[in-house]
Amino acid sequence: MTVSRQNARNWDTFLQNITDVVKTTEAVRELCTPTGGTRVTCFDDLVDRECYVAVSRGKFRDIGYAHILLSCTHFFSEFIV
């Protein structure tokens, strides 16, 4: 999914938009980098054309997202900030 900062008034609205787009049963509470699981806590932390993992509850779990990124890049999104 491509996200524009103009579509979200604040970080919570942004996370709600992600929840709506991915149609998860639980709200997205945070974003993390796929390698290392570094938390993204604000718009300024987002990097153009990078991929992120949406986390609903609990801690980030590294399940080999780097491998998934290499094999299925067409399923991942770019964030335009």
Predicted local distance difference test score (pLDDT) of residue 5? 67
Q: How far apart are alpha carbons 15 and 60 in whole angstroms? A: 16
Q: Which domain holds residue 23?
A: 3-80
Token couple for 34 = 């796929």
CATH code for position 73: 3.10.20.230
Neighbouring CB atoms inside 10 A of 70's CB total 9
Predicted local distance difference test score (pLDDT) of residue 36? 82
> Which mean pLDDT values do the consecutive 10-residue runs of the chain (81 residues) have?
72 89 86 87 86 82 67 43 36
Contact (Cβ atoms closer than 8 angstroms) between residue 19 and residue 27? yes
Predicted local distance difference test score (pLDDT) of residue 1? 64
